[in-house]
Structure 1
């Protein structure tokens, strides 16, 4: 009897690079689809309920522009800043979610998605905001934007992870 051979991208033997489990092409597509759906939900959250609570929408391009201006002395256009935000939400954060959860940093589903969404809030407001010369977590501004950003990012992470895992399990 012959044992079936495992390809580097099959569920039997995951693809690896420098010792890390990395996504194959199908998984990258599923990550991007999940990220796009999560980002769509986040954009609705940022533009509809957030202004009612915080007095204005969440504006990631403004944070990106402030970061570039403060650190590099150049301010990207609105289009470039928005594109960077979308690339981060559709590709960057989902890829980071995969790399962490497939390489030993996992508390199990569905908690991973919720926690990853929470982590993206900290990345944006706890790291990038101070690097842009803004208050840590924007708390000095009253906390409403922080609350709405936290809820929005958590919903983003949960939906992005859920859709990715759903598509990934179907193979």
Structure 2
């Protein structure tokens, strides 16, 4: 995935937009299976992206949004929002995987060590940090740059949801204040979603390239 010069603005074609949505749809389908089927079996309750949207609306504007609307926004973000952001970042930001990895490592490490300094240390949280660091630095032994980059994108979607949106909604940073179980399950789900959405899109784009 070569990144062009920042000065060259790349506008996605109709075919590229379709590929982005297809990638987003496949990633979102697997996310839904993980969030609503497997997560309850592990922690006892599902992941609820619509709940985060509700917290945002209530915290910022005091609004109670209908669940159907919140679910529609969630699907819109998964199908179109994240894929378009991925396209913009991957095509216009030099060394974007390194930048996104750095954002995840720095912000999550800060949140963990802040909990430790506040006397909220638990071995599970330290293991959580170890897992995130290992996932980010797995690119050092990953011989497939595309796979490594797609994992980096998945990591970033987790940061965007829980490291950025959650605090804006008045919730704890990375939801660590809730114990960390929900955050860990969200990490797995977002990595799977982002990885598949990006990988499927890139493979579909490869098919559109003229044969050499």
SS of the residue aligned with 1:87? Answer: helix
Q: How far does residue 22 in structure 1 lie from its aligned partner after superposition?
A: 2.4
TM-score in terms of structure 1 length: 0.85
Name the residue aligned to 2:12. Answer: 23
Aligned length: 155
Q: Does 1:136 align with 2:173?
A: yes
Task: Give the one of 41, 48, 52 matched to 1:63.
Answer: 52
- Give, in whole Å, the separation in 1 of the partners of 2:43 and 2:205: 37
The C-alpha deviation readout for 1:112-146, integer Å capped at 9, x for no partner, is 21111111111111111111111111111111111
Q: Does 1:52 align with 2:41?
A: yes
Q: Could you say what the CA RMSD is over the residues aligned between the two structures, in angstroms?
A: 1.5
Unaligned runs of 5+ in 1: 1-13
Alignment of 1:7-156 (within 5 A): 19-103=8-92, 104-107=94-97, 108-156=145-193
Q: How far does residue 26 in structure 1 lie from its aligned partner after superposition?
A: 0.4
- Give, in whole Å, the separation in 1 of the partners of 2:95 and 2:62: 36
Q: Relative to structure 1, is the Cα distance of residues 24 and 105 closer, same or farther in structure 2, using a 3 angstrom cutoff?
A: farther
Instruction: Identify the range of structure 1 (48-57 vs 134-143) with the bigger mean alpha-carbon deviation.
Output: 48-57
TM-score in terms of structure 2 length: 0.70
- Give, in whole Å, the separation in 1 of the partners of 2:193 and 2:149: 12
Unaligned runs of 5+ in 2: 98-144
